[in-house]
A = this chain, B = another copy of it.
């Protein structure tokens, strides 16, 4: 399916940088883009013309299949600058493998590994000034693929565009979040595309999340679509529950994203001899644990916020509060992960990837 012929990466540099116009102390997540982007088209059965070029608009037919059939997948990753000015990625091979896994589920041709890594590292090198030092600062990287064939018949596209955009992101603390456990709406079906970072999975969450927000909750903890008995994901993150000193999280399935932060948290926990149970976690056991005081923490895990502690959850119109744990698992894993990402600690698992 992939072309194995290595294609030469074409690099077209921007005439001037927009970096001077950016206030790095007041960034809105995901809304400012760096000077360059990567673009590569799939046509006639192969990925061709990999190009780094100045960030700018696309010219695309309104009949392109991405607009009509949501045949699109993406990834989220970050580049970090350490105090010596070296730039690092975090487990980029995981993102590469996952975008191809997502693509396969969405009938999109896989992208070649050599082009992915060359494009990724060259793009970060060219826009290295956009990666700022300081714990929590990063350059958010968004690889994505979209169906570009023109046609409004519901069948897989024969043409695609693979792109990488980059957006500077700030260290931020949004506060602990209040979440609502889903009792009516759901995120994904058995045999569906929940395990893929398919574009449509995210748009489908906006309406139920808006309803939760109107009630004062920032996110939804999704449950299984069949009976809403088991806890699955929190908003766009994986979710962990600490009951006494045991860490619980739903197992990977075709409904649940195989999160890089999720698997990193599990690795850190196991290294520290914390018992981790990857198994279906029922709403009833968590409610019970909340009632009897055994539920110590809930937190989301994902690339954007790293770890996001939950301060309260709602179920059957009852709100269960959780005490903030300054020295809890959430804050500890967040610090350990960020220290590894920013090259401030050892890297026992070999997760860091040096770009320059």
Residues of A within 8 A of B (CB): 28-31, 33, 37, 55, 57-63, 65-72, 74, 104-107, 140, 142, 144, 146-147, 150-156, 163, 165, 167, 182, 184-193, 198-208, 210, 225-226, 228, 235-236, 304
Q: Is the CB of B106 within 8 A of A204?
A: yes
Q: Is the CB of B192 within 8 A of A165?
A: no
- Bound-state CA distance A228–B304 (Å) is 36
CB distance from A233 to the nearest CB of B (A): 12
CB distance from A312 to the nearest CB of B (A): 21
- Bound-state CA distance A62–B162 (Å) is 11
| Chain B residues near A106 (CB-CB < 8 A) | 203-204, 206-207
- Bound-state CA distance A8–B200 (Å) is 33
A-B contact sample (9 more), CB < 8 A, given A31-B150, A68-B199, A107-B203: A30-B153, A58-B60, A65-B203, A70-B72, A71-B206, A155-B206, A186-B189, A191-B225, A198-B203
| Chain B residues near A105 (CB-CB < 8 A) | 204, 207
| Chain B residues near A225 (CB-CB < 8 A) | 189-192, 225-226
| Chain B residues near A167 (CB-CB < 8 A) | 63, 152
Q: Is the CB of B207 within 8 A of A70?
A: no
16 contacts between A and B (CB under 8 A): A31-B63, A37-B62, A57-B60, A57-B62, A58-B61, A59-B59, A65-B203, A70-B72, A70-B198, A106-B204, A154-B202, A156-B210, A184-B191, A198-B203, A199-B200, A200-B201
CB distance from A147 to the nearest CB of B (A): 7
- Bound-state CA distance A132–B68 (Å) is 25
| Chain B residues near A74 (CB-CB < 8 A) | 68
- Bound-state CA distance A190–B229 (Å) is 13
Q: Is the CB of A202 within 8 A of B67?
A: no
Q: Is the CB of A192 within 8 A of B199?
A: no
- Bound-state CA distance A74–B66 (Å) is 12
- Bound-state CA distance A65–B189 (Å) is 23
- Bound-state CA distance A201–B155 (Å) is 12
| Chain B residues near A150 (CB-CB < 8 A) | 31
| Chain B residues near A31 (CB-CB < 8 A) | 63, 150-153
CB distance from A18 to the nearest CB of B (A): 14
Most buried by B among A198, A199, A304: A199
- Bound-state CA distance A64–B63 (Å) is 16
Q: Is the CB of A70 within 8 A of B204?
A: yes
- Bound-state CA distance A331–B337 (Å) is 63
| Pick from B152, B163, B203: contact of A69, CB under 8 Å | B203
Most buried by B among A67, A147, A150: A67
| Pick from B142, B182, B201, B207: contact of A152, CB under 8 Å | B142
| Chain B residues near A37 (CB-CB < 8 A) | 62
